[in-house]
Structure 1
Amino acid sequence: MCSHQPPCPSADRPDHDAARTVAAHPEQGWSLLCNGTIVFDDTGELLPGGGAHAPVRPSWAAPVAATALAA
């Protein structure tokens, strides 16, 4: 998919997020990179082979305990 020089990192490399954006849809919360990866505003990703990376959550954003929800 990448035709410019130097070529962007492929989707299977750890630095795949460094690829150039070829289509941005901020109103929908996602962008397509030239290596075929779709990145979402919440940091989740869909990879060209069908794989996915879950959103990265900051360490301070711990999940709410079930007991807190019952109160």
Structure 2
Amino acid sequence: MSCQHQPCCPTSDASDREAARPVAHRPEQGWSLLCNGLLLFDDTGELLPDGQVVGPHRPGPAVPATSGSSQ
């Protein structure tokens, strides 16, 4: 796939690849196809154009900071 957007979207091997624009979106099936060929799933998993699978990578729950001093 070749991006026709200006400025061009990130490639599928770029660290910000999820910032590419969607060209197909199927919310009822839980996925979007981005213009760089990345298949992005609602659970944040990815299927790269070369068939490589990237597991879901949602951020974990926030851990509250502890207060006080150790004595």
TM-score, structure 2 normalization? 0.78
Change (3 A) 1:58 1:9: closer
How far does residue 57 in structure 1 lie from its aligned partner after superposition? Answer: 4.4
Aligned residue identity for 1:55: P
Name the counterpart of 1:50.
51
Instruction: Return the alpha-carbon distance in structure 2 between the equivalents of residues 18 and 5 of structure 1.
Output: 13
Q: Which has the higher helix share?
A: 1
Instruction: Give me the whole-angstrom Cα distance separating, in 2, the residues matched to 1:35 and 1:59.
Output: 27
Q: TM-score, normalised by structure 1?
A: 0.78
Could you tell me which runs of 5 or more consecutive residues in structure 1 were left unpaired when the two chains were aligned. Answer: 61-71
Q: Give unpaired runs (5+ residues) of structure 2.
A: 62-71
1:32 matched residue in structure 2: 33
Moved more, 27-36 or 49-58: 49-58
Paired residue type of 2:26: H
- Sequence identity percentage: 62
